[in-house]
Amino acid sequence: MRQFLERVLHTLLVLWAVVTILFLMFRLMPGSPLAAYLNDNLSEEQQQLILQQFGLDRPLYEQYVIYLANLARGELGVSFFQRRPVVDILMEAFPNTIVLTLASLVVAYIFGVIAGAFLAWRRDTWIEKTAVPIVLAVRAAPEFWVGMVLLAVFGFGLGWLPSGGTNSPGAAYDSEIERFLSLDFLRHLALPMLTLAVYLQGLPLLLMRSNMLEVMHDEFVTMARMKGLSEWSIVIRHAARNALLPVLTAFTIGVGISVGGNVVVEVVFSWPGIGRLLVRAVSSLDYPLAQGAFLLIALVFITMNFIADMLYVLLDPRVSHARVA
């Protein structure tokens, strides 16, 4: 329990630090976007209004307090260019990112776990010896480049799949769920998901493989053999079950990393998610939107790290009991 509270406190501290870094970054950096924005052909009045609205006419520490207070109320300001609350814009983009992230992670981890367990089981065979360098090479490939190649081949070349966006123009749906389940959406999802999965499968595969190799040497696996249990039971019930713990943690952390790491793939496939939003906001100097998008990504990242910690505690009886005791 104490550890849990410590962990929560630590997470909050980190969150605060990140928020503060962001504040300083956006106010103190050379080429602050405000100048560009205020140089627009706005009237004196409008300019004053915006300055007041963001509290930009006050000293830095006051701005900081206002900033924190706004954040605490979930108030992220209004986009310079879209003239809409940042929160609304983020909430439109976020589901797209989450769906893409989860779909690709699930595919990548299912594949990676099975392939990793298989390679460990067939260790020292030519399959294993060739597969590992290939996996490393695939992991070394920039995601956006993999996306470009897949897009050129399957999107433009063969014309099997659409080349970007989430839905064909003109399609209308009653609800978000219905939209996500539509064939049209899934066809749009296929390529970006595949691109991310190609990159993401490497980690669970390598993790699973090395954990399995380690666990297969553990005495309880030898004992299972002596008991005459079936190979299936030994590999799956005992070895894989133990090797899976760190992989689940990696999955959770992976969700956090991918939400921000998807940026480039979202751009390649014009996927209207948070990452693409961030890139657009940054390039068009839409500072409230960029700040909001970054904060959301960071929040998800930090939260998932926290959950990963907690999950480990829940899933590994050794750790959970040690913490309770």
Partner 1 sequence: MPASLEQAARRGESLTLWPRVREAAVALLRQTGRDPFAVVGVTIYAAFAVIALLADVIATHDPLEIQFLASGKLAANQRPGAAFLLGTTSLGRDIFSQLVYGTRSALFVGLSAATVVASLGTLVGLVAGYFGGRIDAALMRIADIALSLPFLPFVIVLSAFLGPSIYNVIVAVALLLWPNTGRVIRSQVLSLRERAYVEAARVTGASTWRILFVHIAPNILPLSFLYGSIAIGWAILTEASVSFLGFGSSDVVSWGYMLQDAFTSQALSRGQYNWFVPPGLCIVLVVVAGFFISRGYEEVFFPKLRD
Partner 2 sequence: MSLLSISDLRVHYRAESGLTRAVDGVSFEVPEGQIVGLVGESGCGKTTVARAITGVMPQNAVIAGGRIVYRDRNLLELSRPEAKALRWREIAFIPQSAMNSLDPVYRVGAQVEEVLIARGGHDRRRAAARAVELFEMVGLDPGRLRDYPHQFSGGMRQRAAIAIALALNPKLVIADEPVTALDVIVQRQVLDTIKTLQARFQISVVLVTHDISVVAYACDQVVVMYAGQVVESGPAAAVLDRPVHPYTMGLYNAFPDMQSSAGMLVPIDGSPPDLSQPFAGCRFAPRCPFARDDCRLSGVENRPCEPGHSAACVRAAEAHQLRAAAREPATWLRS
Residue 268 binds partner 1, judged by CB under 8 A: yes
* Lookup: tokens for 231: 């190979």
Q: Which is nearer to partner 1, 247 or 257 (CB)?
A: 257
- What phi-psi label fits residue 271: left (phi over 0), alpha (psi between -120 and 50 degrees) or beta? beta
Residue 184 binds partner 2, judged by CB under 8 A: no
The entry of partner 2, partner 1, none near residue 240 (CB within 5 to 8 angstroms by kind) is none
User: Which residue among 18, 66, 68, 161 contacts partner 1 (CB under 8 A)?
Assistant: 18
* Lookup: tokens for 155: 């999107």
Residue 230 binds partner 2, judged by CB under 8 A: yes
Interface with partner 1: number of residues (CB under 8 A) = 52
Instruction: Supply the minimum distance, in Å, between the C-beta of residue 25 and partner 1.
Output: 7
User: Which residue among 36, 127, 181, 223 contacts partner 2 (CB under 8 A)?
Assistant: 223
The entry of partner 1, partner 2, none near residue 318 (CB within 5 to 8 angstroms by kind) is partner 2
Instruction: From 60, 68, 67, select the one nearest 28 (Cα to Cα).
Output: 60
Q: Which is nearer to partner 1, 55 or 164 (CB)?
A: 164
The entry of partner 2, partner 1, none near residue 96 (CB within 5 to 8 angstroms by kind) is none
Neighbours of 325 (CB within 10 A): 5
How far is it, in rounded angstroms, from Cα 74 to Cα 71? 5
**Per-residue x/- marks for partner 2, 237-256, CB under 8 A?**
-x--xx--x-----------
* Site stretch for partner 1 (CB under 8 A), options 54-62, 170-178, 227-235, 253-261: 253-261
User: Which residue among 126, 159, 228, 283 contacts partner 2 (CB under 8 A)?
Assistant: 228
Residue 255 binds partner 1, judged by CB under 8 A: no
Residue 181 binds partner 1, judged by CB under 8 A: no
* Site stretch for partner 2 (CB under 8 A), options 22-30, 108-116, 223-231, 263-271: 223-231
The entry of partner 2, partner 1, none near residue 230 (CB within 5 to 8 angstroms by kind) is partner 2
Contact 301, 259 (CB under 8 A): yes
**Per-residue x/- marks for partner 1, 118-137, CB under 8 A?**
---------------x--xx
Residue 35 binds partner 1, judged by CB under 8 A: no
* Site stretch for partner 1 (CB under 8 A), options 66-74, 119-127, 183-191, 298-306: 298-306
* Lookup: tokens for 106: 């699930």
Cβ-based neighbours of 143, under 8 Å, separated by 6 or more: 195, 196, 199, 261, 264, 265
Residue 139 binds partner 1, judged by CB under 8 A: yes
CA angle 136–137–139, rounded 5-degree value: 65
Residues that bind partner 1 (CB under 8 A): 10, 13-15, 17-18, 21, 25, 29-32, 133, 136-137, 139-142, 144-146, 148-149, 151-152, 155-157, 163, 256-257, 259-261, 263-264, 267-268, 275, 278-279, 282-283, 290, 293-294, 297-298, 301-302, 305
